[in-house]
Amino acid sequence: MTKKQYQKITEIKIRNLHGSFESDGIFWEDRLVRPIDIYPEYADQNHENNDLQKGNIVSTSSIFIEIHTDDGLYGTAGPIDTAHADIVEKSLSKIILGKDPLAIELLWDQMYRLSVHGRQGITMMAISAIDCALWDLKGKYYNTPVYKILGGPTRKEIPAYASMLGFNVTDMNLVSERAKLYKEKGFTAQKWFFRYGPMSGLEGLKKNVEMVKTLRDSVGDDYEIMLDCWQSMDYKYVVELAKRIEKYRPYWLEETVMPDRVEIYKKIKDKINIPLSGAEHDYTRWGMLRFIEKNALDILQPDIYWAGGLSEVIKIANLASTYDLITIPHGHSSNATLHFSLSQVPIHTPYQEYLIKWNKVHQHFLKTPEKPNKGFFGETNLIGLGMEIDESKIQKEDILEIR
């Protein structure tokens, strides 16, 4: 049966899904250091999601968007936050309704040009979600996984690194136990998160170093460990930290300072002997170009759901490859990121991030969550981006339909 040449977008659904899952023990055990922790009243705060757990039940809610067409197809993206959904509803929906959903480049450019004050932050995140939903829809239109449209596959499997956000990072017995456990699960690399920043003084610095030493002692020499500062440090502190942990051979040191401080990234990179990664909290190819032109990073980490969508992160990766740089997207969505990774040359995308706890939350409502098997993501045959919702997981739903 021949498909008609022109579809149009007829409806956008914003689905706010509520559910829960069981957890053995405390799910969110610890949080990372944050830029705001320079202020004591914030430094003492517990994890932001602590109140979501009652006994062994963890409540969760996720907002997904669906873009529907006049011939019955739809594409799904998410989860996104309430602020992003609000922009989709009140602004971006007006741009894409009635348009051809296969014209992804056109729609991206029109959303970008009409959002002159939204080139970063929550508006760009909303654009990213629409872009990902359109790619999911395009895969369904052509009845194929998205990575095959992008030019893949370049390989049959991709190593995943276990990203340990939310695990305890202050009890060294637990750190050692979990590091060994996830090595046994087949992961060939792990990323851990520092809990202390410059305002914690020398004592906090020593505790950060102790965590790195514990990791190296636990997993052995023939294993990769990555370390995330989550944009919460400064030049002097990072240089001292890097000097003390260099002997433990980190694969990279991530997001050492806030993303607008490109010159400081350059200054740090020139001073330390550990590869520097970052730009997770930056946006678009133009944002990444600042880091590239300054030779400020070794590894770029744009988030597909933040930096401009799958369309834009493909452009970022192409730009980075001309400088022989590595692009490993932040792991917000394993589904979208898998299709990106499968379409990339392995030497330029050697790993995919798998956030152990956050991906349990982000993929809770999906029929086919993408999970690594023995530390590796495999080639998928799921149509589109594999974003179908598992209706049985929904305990309550609020839905907004925009036409």
Q: What is the distance of C-alpha 108 from the center of its chain?
A: 20
Which of 10, 75, 71, 70 minimizes the C-alpha distance to 384? 75
Which of 97, 101, 95 minimizes the C-alpha distance to 133? 101
Give the DSSP letter string of 156-182. Answer: SEEEEEEE-TTS--S-HHHHHHHHHHH
Residues in a beta bridge with 76: 66
Rounded Cα distance between 88 and 138, Å, is: 19
Side chain identity, residue 61: S
Which two three-digit tokens encode residue 171?
Answer: 């009890």
Which two three-digit tokens encode residue 46?
Answer: 């517990």
The H-or-E segment that residue 104 falls in is: helix 104-114
For residue 44, the number of C-alpha atoms closer than 13 Å in the C-beta half-sphere is: 2
The label of the residue with tokens 């894409």 reads: 96
Given 68, 84, 281, 330, which residue is catalytic? 330
Concerning whether 362 is annotated as a catalytic residue, the answer is no
Backbone angles phi, psi at 37, to 5 degrees: -70, 0
Sign of CA dihedral 287, 292, 296, 301: positive
> Would you tell me the crossing angle of helices 104-114 and 121-141 to the nearest 10 degrees?
170
Which of 216, 184, 210 minimizes the C-alpha distance to 374? 184
Rounded Cα distance between 403 and 401, Å, is: 7
Q: Tell me which residues are annotated as active site.
A: 330
